[in-house]
Amino acid sequence: MSCSNLTLWVSLSPPSRSQPNPFRLLPQRSPLHNPPPRTSSRSSLHSPIQCSLRELRERINTVKNTHKITEAMKLVAAAKVRRAQEAVISGRPFAENLLRVLYDISEQLQFEDIDVPLTNVRPVKKVALLVVTGNQGLCGGFNNAVLKKAETRMLELESLGLDYTVISVGKKGNAYFKRRPGVLVDRFLEWEGFPTVKDAHVIADNAFSLFVSEEVDKVELVYTKFVSLIKSDPVIRTLLPLSPVGRICDANGNCVDAVEDEFFRLTSKEGKLAVERDSVRMNRDGLKPLMQFEQDPVQILDSMMPLYLNSQILRVLQESLASELSARMNAMKTATDNAVELKKTLSVAYNRKRQTKITGEILEITTGAEALS
């Protein structure tokens, strides 16, 4: 008879109490021995924390300090994103209406012998990509999304047999392209704090010089469009030549104008930061078909073209900053929640280990007292 059959026979047919059990020599489980507790399916997915009490206390203190830092960074980003979104929403109507005015003027003057350099459409041989990234990290996948969009556009241009050059704006983008020697970068530009007209003017001058000198035939913007506090979309749209449809369009001709904006108001609810949302409908009224020029149309266009470039670049910087701050606020909120959850897990492990140690000490004292008595 095999061992397995013997074990089965013993388990199925135990001897009676009156008869002696021939298998009493098997080791018996001590009554003081506790069986291992059954872990739930959720706790079995995580490995047990094997640390001493001192190490657990140090880890809990570290998590508490991290929680304070992420909470502070979340509040700072929430305070800044309010100002950034106000700048985005207040600046959009001006930039969009200015673009429509320029288009309307150029459309009415298309049969006249007027040379406007920024509206000249040439056969595209080389494209300049103006990539706008953030200056800091700790904002989730904000910078990676923009750079991935730029890389995708570069592959598309290479597949079409077109050359390209990059104008990098932002410290994160500069650091990324400096590690890519195979990418031709024309300029590395930076800006600090909230974008100003001066910052936009410096960037617009570089794009203007490349296009007017015919070094490039097209200038495209790669940036993050601010949609809402929890959503930002990396987009590509044409900056130069001037859009022939009077709208802000992407590289595929799709309109990226905002029809309805979400306006956020930061409030306090039950002692914590809260966000209220309001919708702002953007007007889309067309321009009047008849226009009279008091000055020479060439002078009007020459004075409005720099304004167009500066306003579009400033708008892009504002939207990128608002997207970066909202991404940082969401990332720090997630980090804060994770720190709270980790602190709870470590506290439970610490209390269990401490209780186990106390119970063991009580048992030792009790056993010693019984032995002496």
Distance between CA 121 and CA 116 in Å, rounded? Answer: 10
Read off the pLDDT of each residue in 110-132 and give the average, rounded to a whole number.
79
What pLDDT shows up at residue 227?
85
pLDDT bin (cut points 50, 70, 90) of residue 96 is confident
How many CA atoms lie less than 13 Å away from 1 in the CB half-sphere?
A: 8
> Is the per-residue pLDDT at 137 higher than 80?
yes
**Whole-structure pTM value:** 0.71
Of all residues in the chain, the percent with pLDDT exceeding 70 is: 70
The token pair that represents 193 in the structure block: 């704090």
Higher pLDDT, 331 or 372: 331
What pLDDT shows up at residue 242?
74
Lowest mean pLDDT among 123-132, 136-145, 246-255, 308-317: 246-255
Q: DSSP string of 208-250?
A: HHHHHTTS-SEEEEEEEEEEETTEEEEEEEEEESPPTTSS-BB
User: What confidence tens digit (pLDDT) does each residue in 338-348 have?
Assistant: 999 999 999 99
**Beta-carbon contacts of residue 357 (< 8 Å; ≥ 6 apart):** 53
What pLDDT shows up at residue 109?
66
What pLDDT shows up at residue 108?
66
Closest among 149, 321, 313 to 240, alpha carbons compared: 313
Task: Find out whether 138 and 176 touch, Cβ atoms under 8 Å.
Answer: no
Q: What share of the chain is helix, strand, coil (3-state, %, to 5)?
A: 50, 15, 30
Q: At what angle are helices 197-212 and 297-372 packed, to 10 degrees?
A: 120
Pick the CATH number of 82-281+296-324 from 3.40.1380.10, 3.40.190.10, 2.160.10.10, 3.60.20.10: 3.40.1380.10
**Beta-carbon contacts of residue 18 (< 8 Å; ≥ 6 apart):** none
Read off the pLDDT of each residue in 195-209 and give the average, rounded to a whole number.
91
**Helix H or strand E encompassing 275:** strand 272-281
Q: Is 185 exposed, middle or buried (0-12, 13-18, 19+ CB in 10 A)?
A: middle
Q: Is 139 a catalytic residue?
A: yes
DSSP state of 193: S
User: What average pLDDT does the structure give for the chain?
Assistant: 77
Distance between CA 42 and CA 39 in Å, rounded? Answer: 8
> Is the per-residue pLDDT at 297 higher than 80?
no
> Is the per-residue pLDDT at 163 higher than 80?
yes
Lowest mean pLDDT among 45-54, 132-141, 145-154: 45-54
What pLDDT shows up at residue 28?
44
Higher pLDDT, 361 or 110: 361
**Residues in a beta bridge with 250:** 237
Catalytic hit among 3, 139, 249, 255: 139
What pLDDT shows up at residue 178?
93
